[in-house]
């Protein structure tokens, strides 16, 4: 399950883990004009872990999800 919300300066997507145990904490993605952040609560430390991806990294990630094993540059044949 996921939710999509449009805030003032970002689109926020929350991914909720459902199904069989063990479940993971929710993942929150915030899409800004120049980057995307990914956050998840680390239940071991009770701290939110956050990474920031450039828009180029997000584009490459989207392309990688449907690619076979190998090394790619977006735009390569």
Q: What is the pLDDT of residue 10?
A: 94
Q: What is the pLDDT of residue 19?
A: 87
pLDDT one-digit tens code per residue, 22-75: 899 999 999 999 999 999 999 999 999 999 999 999 999 988 888 888 888 877
> Residue written as tokens 């003032």?
8
CA distances (Å), 46 to each of 5, 21, 37, in order?
A: 25, 20, 19
Q: What is the pLDDT of residue 33?
A: 96
Work out the angle at residue 61's Cα, subtended by the Cα atoms of residues 3 and 11, and round it to the nearest 5 degrees: 30
Strand ranges in the chain using DSSP code E only, listed in sequence order: 2-6, 11-15, 27-31, 35-42, 47-54
Closest CA to 49 of 22, 74, 19, 24: 24
């Amino acid at each position: 399950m996921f939710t999509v919300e449009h805030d003032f300066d970002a689109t926020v997507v929350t991914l909720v883990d459902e199904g069989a145990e063990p479940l993971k904490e929710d993942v929150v993605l915030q899409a800004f004009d120049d980057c995307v952040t990914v956050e998840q609560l680390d239940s071991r430390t009770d701290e939110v872990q956050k990474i920031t991806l450039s828009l180029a990294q997000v584009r490459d990630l989207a392309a990688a999800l449907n690619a076979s094993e190998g090394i790619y540059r977006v735009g390569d044949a």
